[in-house]
Amino acid sequence: MKYRLELPIQKSREEVWEAFDNPENMRKWRPSLVRFEPASGTRGRPGAVSKLTYCENNREFVLMEEVTARDEPIELDGVYENEFAHNIVKNTFIEQGKDQTLWVMETEFRIKTLLMRILGPVMKKNFVIRTRKDMERFKEMVEGD
């Protein structure tokens, strides 16, 4: 299951990158994130692994994040994994002018379990909606500074 979202942000690419690359900001635009714990490597660098704990609908779940690529301030990619899915995310920040950046997020879910393979196509719309809301919260946070 793949999808691509784009969102223009009325800030310079450097300002967008700085906000995106700061783990302290994650809870501001990902409200279900309750903990971000570096596990190994240098945070934000390829090979770094972190444990992200989320709570949604009174259910806690963990995603392990591994940074797979970093080209500051253009691209930051990662893999998010748990027992149900392997999620590849590519974030690209395209300069659109002095104070405008286009954030492009390309996502690919590789589902691991039979139940999730059955439910995945039905749930795709929900994944896209959740991702779009997270992106919009990020935009509001960055543009509000």
DSSP class per residue in 69-127 = EEETTTEEEEEEE-SSEEEEEEEEEEEEETTEEEEEEEEEEEE-SHHHHHHHHHHHHHH
Distance of CA 26 to the CA centre of its chain: 9
- Buried (b) or exposed (e) across 57-69, using 16+ Cβ within 10 A? eeeeeebebbbee
Q: How confident is the model at residue 119 (pLDDT cuts 50, 70, 90)?
A: low
- The pLDDT score that the predictor gives to residue 21 is 95
The first and second tokens of residue 133, run together, are 């809301």
The conformational region for residue 122 under phi > 0 = left, psi -120 to 50 = alpha, else beta, is: alpha
CB 21 within 8 A of CB 138: no
This prediction has a pTM of 0.90
Q: Please provide the average confidence, as pLDDT, over all residues in the chain.
A: 91
**Cα–Cα distances in Å, from 141 out to 28, 30, 121, 144, 145?**
7, 11, 31, 5, 7
pLDDT tens digits along 59-116: 999 999 999 999 999 999 999 999 888 999 999 999 998 899 999 999 998 877 766 6
- Which contiguous run of DSSP H or E holds residue 140? helix 114-144
Structure confidence at residue 145 as a pLDDT band (50, 70, 90): low
pLDDT of residue 84: 80
Length of the chain: 145
